[in-house]
Amino acid sequence: MRLLFTLLITSILLQSCMDVSAALLAGGDGTYDFKNELLDPQYHVDETKIHLMDFQSDNDTVYALYVGDLAQITTDTIIFYLHGNASSMDNFWETAGLFANLGGSHHFGFMMYDYRGFGKSTGRTTGAESMAADYDAVLAFLQTQGLTSDRMVVVASSLGSLPAASAAAAGSRISIQKLVMEAPQSTANVIMQNATGLSLPASMLTNYNFDIGQNMEDYTGELLWMHGTEDLVAPIETAEAVMQKHNGTYYQEAIYAGAGHGLRWDIGDEEWSKIVLDFVRH
């Protein structure tokens, strides 16, 4: 009976989910209600510096949030954040507030965006190509505003590690010199098996292929890897195998015993911010 059930579920997935969207938590409309009343007082921002914008990515519209002074992108250091597998940027507004106060109030500019199908972004995230196009569409804006590689820090959380890794491996219009990987995924197999509960190769369920290990070998810049030992979503053993392939100019690990996939919540904002700020200033 269990075998028949597994075969039935597999058949359904094969017929209806031949892309990475089977594993994603997309579909939330997103309110984009970015206000201080939703933040801890210590992470309040200047609400005149909150900018919601949208960009064309192929035939779809991708929504993004910039927190900072747009006129200062040409001189500020910018945190470019690629969020994890949650329905919209709404889930990361507290993260935005933290970054907007990292090292002082609005010391850094901050930008994040919703992948296709997340929040109000249209279309569907279907694989490496769509994620790369969304990344490039938002980065193109920052480039036109004067951002250069020496003032850009890419911070990728969980799902965000997929487009970040390929971009770091010489796939970014602004080359990445500093990269933070927080609880990164490692293989398509891990993502799909966690999403379906089935011990099947990802090739049976999705056409989304990626090789973060190879990306890390090809990435020449600085890398900070942050992970918890009890992460059940992105197992530390598989993440370690790919992160330690990094051959760039500087490599740092921040491993936390007992912490799970919600790393920042488990270790606290103060510890998390200290590690990230020290790396940015390295």
- Domain containing residue 45: CATH number: 3.40.50.1820
pLDDT exceeds cutoff 90 at 8: no
2 pLDDT tier (thresholds 50, 70, 90): very low
Domain count within the chain: 1
Mean of all residue pLDDT scores within the chain = 87
pLDDT exceeds cutoff 80 at 12: no
pLDDT exceeds cutoff 80 at 196: no
- The model's pLDDT over 100-135, given as tens digits with 9 standing for 90+, comes to 999 999 999 999 999 999 999 999 988 888 999 999
- The model's pLDDT over 21-37, given as tens digits with 9 standing for 90+, comes to 556 766 667 899 999 99
- Tokens linked to 30: 């997103």
CA dist 130 → 19, 53, 110, 240 (Å): 11, 19, 23, 26
pLDDT exceeds cutoff 50 at 238: yes
pLDDT at site 29: 74
- Across the range 64-73, mean pLDDT stands at 98
Residue ranges making up the domain that contains 10: 2-281
Three-state secondary structure readout of 233-269: CCCHHHHHHHHCCCCCCEEEEEEECCCCCCHHHHHCH
- Between 116 and 15, the higher pLDDT residue: 116
pLDDT at site 102: 98
pLDDT exceeds cutoff 70 at 199: no
pLDDT at site 14: 41
pLDDT at site 193: 55
- Across the range 165-185, mean pLDDT stands at 95
pLDDT exceeds cutoff 50 at 6: no
pLDDT at site 179: 98
Q: Calculate what percentage of the chain has a pLDDT beyond 70.
A: 82
